[in-house]
Amino acid sequence: MSKGKKILVVDDEKLYRHLLEINLQTEGYEVITATNGEECLDLVSKKHPDLVILDVMMPKIDGFSTLERIRQFSEVPVIMLTGKTEEHDRVKGLNLGADDYVAKPFSATELIARVRSVLRRSVSTESSKANRYFEHGNLKIDLARAEVWRSETPVLLSATEYKLLIQFAHNVGKVLSAEELLSAIWGPQYRQDKEILWVSIARLRQKIEIDPHTPTHIVTRSGLGYLMPPIDSKN
């Protein structure tokens, strides 16, 4: 099981990084390491590890935020590693897409068993490999860094605008109703608050469209909702 498997260990504590690296290498795994979330995101996109062991408490970007970013462009299995033992933290990690959760301190035997179990359950396919960049015409998104460009010019989006854009990027060619978008971005309690969606889409179009009145990235389907059309289709 370990032959040829590459594991990315992400922890800002040198002691834990070294401990994990030694124990995993002893089991025959190839190990690469990162000290923070930004390094992790770069390595996931460039090195395509088979598994990520991700610490929660880190500087710059914490483990939860890093996992959320990873899941924007990769389905690589992730084991969360943390000193926190509260149930809500475990649930949060699993809801964000973690495959398992190990609390510090841990035994090397337990961790290796968890690694083997997650790798057995995972299916390595081309579609699960990291695809860091999304492009739609003159629009480009770096999903790892949550950065957006229009015709090579950086676009500064609010957190809400970015989340809204990602909904369209992940559903190219699919009409998304106002209710679906409101639930996904603001929560189910906002399903009928369409004015906030209209305003947010208008602001987003002002930033990403060449002509907001004739949009090409986010178009309206009257009575149905909105969609990001396939790039080779006619609006």
**What pLDDT band is residue 85 in, cutting at 50, 70 and 90?**
low
Helix, strand, or coil (residue 108): helix
49 sits in which H/E element:
none
Query: What DSSP designation does 170 have?
Result: T
The tens digit of pLDDT for each residue in 201-214 reads 999 999 999 999 99
pLDDT of 129 reads 56
- CB 234: neighbour CB atoms within 10 A? 5
pLDDT digits (tens, 9 = 90+) for 105-126: 888 899 999 999 999 887 654 4
Tokens for 74, please give them. 């990769």
Q: Residue range 152-160: average pLDDT?
A: 91
For the chain, where do the domains classified as CATH 3.40.50.2300 start and end? 6-128
CATH 1.10.10.10 positions along the chain are 133-227
Closest residue by Cα to residue 144 from 8, 61, 45, 6: 45
Q: Side-chain half-sphere of 73: how many Cα atoms within 13 Å?
A: 22
pTM (2 decimals)? 0.71
Specify the pLDDT at position 125.
45
Q: Which CATH superfamily is domain 6-128 in?
A: Response regulator (3.40.50.2300)
Say which residues have a Cβ less than 8 Å from residue 216's Cβ, sequence separation at least 6.
137, 209, 210, 229, 235
**155/163 Cα distance (integer angstroms):** 14
> C-alpha angle with apex 80: 75 to 84, nearest 5 degrees?
150
Question: Are 229 and 175 contacting, i.e. CB atoms less than 8 angstroms apart?
Answer: no
- Looking at 3.40.50.2300, 2.60.40.2550, 3.30.70.360, 1.10.10.10, the CATH number of the domain 133-227 comes to 1.10.10.10
Residue whose C-alpha is closest to residue 104's, from 36, 17, 37, 43 = 17
Tokens, residue 84: 């926190």
Report helix, strand or coil for 41: helix
The DSSP code sequence of 181-226 is HHHHHT-GGGTT-HHHHHHHHHHHHHHH-SSTTS-SSSEEETTTEE
